[in-house]
Amino acid sequence: MVTAQRKRLRKISEKPDLFDQLPDDLVLYILFKLSSSASCPSDFINILITCKRLKQLALDPLVLSKVGVKTFAVKAERWSDSAHQFLKQCVNAGNREALYTLGMIRFYCLQNRGSGASLMAKAAIKSHASALYSLAVIQFNGSGGSKNDKNLRAGVALCARAAVLGHIDALRELGHCLQDGYGVPQDIVQGRRFLVQANAKELALSLRSMLTWKPQQQHVDEQQNLHYACSVMGTAITGCPLLSDFGCNVPAREVHPVNEFLKEWFESRPGMLDHGLRLCSHSGCGRPETRPREFRRCSVCGTVNYCSRGCQALDWKLRHKVECVPMEQWQGVLEDGGDNGIGGMVEIEEGEDVALVE
Ligand SMILES: [Zn+2]
Ligand SMILES: [Zn+2]
């Protein structure tokens, strides 16, 4: 009797794991589906450290090609050879987000301009909107080169392609370029139209994120979220003063992880920026100057610098309009209205030039 029980127990314990019975193709398919929705790097790391088989399958190029942007949201202080290596593996698998992320890190942080720009260009060819926009910013500023390397027309063309793909900052940048006749023949009406479109898209995005926002009580349903969204629209209780054109306040939208990375990288390594080089003053950007006085500055107070008109417009609404103290000699410019279409935004001037960019 006892022997029979023992035999049965041994049989159960020797029964192979159900996971082992799953064919590789099926596990690969599940990982392929899951990898794009990982919410942080540790989600993916947990798969790698679970067991040998999962690690091997998770590093299959098919899975790596689909790994989502949040998997690359590594903290700047945790940057290591293995993080670099992992990004390279994803790049080799043709992952667009990895191409863009590693491109930005190499271009700005590791100062490997050629390789960084080339990776971003590969992401841009795969219709990565942020890569197109970042290349536009590089062209507008002549980043990595001299002032003579600025190519405003190329910047506008790249912005237009990113805007078509729905990139809000690119749409906003394009609106300013058209309004100012910057790199493109001036068309104030079309420019304003693009700015309104950018604001409307931003509003839609914010409302959508509020509707999917999950407060601590899990039972709060969508209707209550809608009520919350409406109360924010109506009374402007919290959040940043974005979209002031529409008379409402909404929370600032999520920043791309690589912008967070850049910001942390340079803020935690003060010596990284050569003397006189500055970071873009918009908190959601993180782009540094690649040569002295590359970025344009607020011509009213002269204390903030921006990589782009888009960053200036956003920072104006988020923060700078309450901080900007005009220098006396510029008060006339303010009274003239400046860029009155977007809540009193001020013109910026070329780093080296005194003249206003019109
Ligand atoms: Zn910027
Ligand atoms: Zn200012």
303 alpha carbon, closest ligand: 2
pLDDT on residue 23: 82
Tally of CB atoms within 10 A around 65: 18
Q: In one letter, which amino acid is 66?
A: K
Say if CB 180 and CB 173 are below 8 A apart: no
Q: Round to the nearest angstrom and report the end-to-end CA distance of the chain.
A: 96
Q: Please tell me the distance between residue 172's alpha carbon and the centre of ligand 1 in angstroms.
A: 13
pLDDT on residue 208: 79
More confident position, 349 or 161: 161
Q: Please tell me the distance between residue 282's alpha carbon and the centre of ligand 1 in angstroms.
A: 6
More confident position, 129 or 269: 129
Q: Please tell me the distance between residue 312's alpha carbon and the centre of ligand 2 in angstroms.
A: 9
- The neighbouring-strand residues paired with 296 are 306
Phi, psi of 124 (to 5 degrees): -65, -40
pLDDT on residue 168: 92
pLDDT on residue 270: 77
Q: Please tell me the distance between residue 226's alpha carbon and the centre of ligand 1 in angstroms.
A: 32
Banded pLDDT at 59 (limits 50, 70, 90)? confident
In the chain, which ranges are continuous DSSP H helix?
2-14, 18-21, 24-35, 41-50, 52-58, 61-64, 81-92, 96-104, 113-125, 129-141, 152-164, 168-180, 188-211, 222-235, 257-268, 309-315, 321-323, 331-335
Q: Please tell me the distance between residue 58's alpha carbon and the centre of ligand 1 in angstroms.
A: 35
Banded pLDDT at 213 (limits 50, 70, 90)? low
300 alpha carbon, closest ligand: 2
Q: Please tell me the distance between residue 17's alpha carbon and the centre of ligand 1 in angstroms.
A: 52
Average pLDDT taken over every residue of the chain = 79
Give the span between the Cα atoms of 72 and 45, in whole angstroms: 11
pLDDT exceeds 60 at position 198: yes
Q: Please tell me the distance between residue 284's alpha carbon and the centre of ligand 1 in angstroms.
A: 7
DSSP string, 125-147: HTT-HHHHHHHHHHHHHTTTS-G
Q: Please tell me the distance between residue 167's alpha carbon and the centre of ligand 2 in angstroms.
A: 26
pLDDT exceeds 90 at position 115: yes
Q: Please tell me the distance between residue 287's alpha carbon and the centre of ligand 1 in angstroms.
A: 6
Q: Please tell me the distance between residue 230's alpha carbon and the centre of ligand 1 in angstroms.
A: 31
Q: Please tell me the distance between residue 352's alpha carbon and the centre of ligand 2 in angstroms.
A: 17
141 alpha carbon, closest ligand: 1
315 alpha carbon, closest ligand: 1
Banded pLDDT at 249 (limits 50, 70, 90)? low
DSSP string, 279-343: B-SSTTT-PBPSSTT-SEEETTT---EESSHHHHHHHIIIIIHHH----GGGHHHHHTTSBGGGS
More confident position, 116 or 42: 116
- The neighbouring-strand residues paired with 297 are 305, 349
Say if CB 71 and CB 44 are below 8 A apart: yes
List C-alpha distances in Å: 236 to 195, 200, 201, 222, 228.
Answer: 22, 17, 19, 20, 11
The contacts of residue 40 (CB under 8 Å, 6+ apart) are 70, 71, 73
Banded pLDDT at 170 (limits 50, 70, 90)? very high
Q: Please tell me the distance between residue 32's alpha carbon and the centre of ligand 1 in angstroms.
A: 34
**pLDDT per residue over 76-100, tens digit each?**
998 999 899 999 999 999 999 999 9
pLDDT exceeds 60 at position 26: yes
Q: Please tell me the distance between residue 173's alpha carbon and the centre of ligand 1 in angstroms.
A: 11
pLDDT on residue 344: 37
Q: Which two tokens stand for residue 220?
A: 């709060």
324 alpha carbon, closest ligand: 2
pLDDT on residue 356: 32
169 alpha carbon, closest ligand: 1
The residues spanned by each domain of the chain are 257-349
Q: Please tell me the distance between residue 316's alpha carbon and the centre of ligand 1 in angstroms.
A: 12
Percent of the chain clearing pLDDT 90 (strictly above) = 42
Banded pLDDT at 60 (limits 50, 70, 90)? confident
Average pLDDT over residues 132-151: 95
**pLDDT per residue over 262-313, tens digit each?**
999 998 887 778 778 999 999 899 999 999 989 998 888 888 999 998 899 8
Give the span between the Cα atoms of 273 and 279, in whole angstroms: 9
- Among the ranges given (18-22, 81-85, 319-323), the one the predictor scored with the smallest mean pLDDT: 18-22
Q: Please tell me the distance between residue 154's alpha carbon and the centre of ligand 2 in angstroms.
A: 28
- Among the ranges given (41-55, 81-95, 211-225, 316-330), the one the predictor scored with the smallest mean pLDDT: 211-225
Q: Please tell me the distance between residue 93's alpha carbon and the centre of ligand 1 in angstroms.
A: 30
- Among the ranges given (39-43, 69-73, 250-254, 296-300), the one the predictor scored with the smallest mean pLDDT: 250-254
Say if CB 148 and CB 184 are below 8 A apart: no
Banded pLDDT at 340 (limits 50, 70, 90)? very low
Q: Please tell me the distance between residue 302's alpha carbon and the centre of ligand 2 in angstroms.
A: 6
Percent of the chain clearing pLDDT 70 (strictly above) = 75
pLDDT exceeds 70 at position 127: yes
Q: Please tell me the distance between residue 288's alpha carbon and the centre of ligand 1 in angstroms.
A: 8
- The neighbouring-strand residues paired with 348 are 298
